[in-house]
Amino acid sequence: MNSSGHPVYTEDVAKTVRCCGPDDCGKRGAVEIDGLMGRVCAGAGCMAWRWKPLMADAAFAEAVKKVHDKCPEGPITHAKAVAHVMAHKADYGLPTVPYLGYCGLAGGFLT
């Protein structure tokens, strides 16, 4: 969900969802809706697309704990552990770029 409580999608999934924008938005003829060819979301190719910011989750918290507890120089502050993980996300298997997004039109609805 985005901050408005509306669903978020990967860009590939969003491109299978009906476009809710004005007539010049989306990809025409890309999907059949109620027997008529309709428009689907263009994802990041649309000016209304918004990426959901990356948030700290359980995997991020675990990486911070690992750094905090196992630093070769001894335990470090929580803030330094967080800064280290933020600077080395890929090393901990964490996403480095946003991968979920939503339509910025109508408060984020894609359906």
Domains of the chain by residue range: 1-52+98-111, 55-94
Return the bridge partners of 50, or none: 102
Instruction: Report the predicted TM-score, pTM, of the whole model to 2 decimal places.
Output: 0.64
Distance, in Å, from the CA atom of 41 to the CA atom of 34, rounded to the nearest integer, reads 17
Question: How much is the pLDDT for 8?
Answer: 85
Distance, in Å, from the CA atom of 1 to the CA atom of 32, rounded to the nearest integer, reads 26
Tens-digit pLDDT string for the chain (111 aa): 555 566 788 999 988 887 877 777 776 665 665 666 677 888 888 888 888 888 878 999 999 998 888 877 777 888 989 999 999 999 999 998 888 998 888 565 443
Question: How much is the pLDDT for 83?
Answer: 92
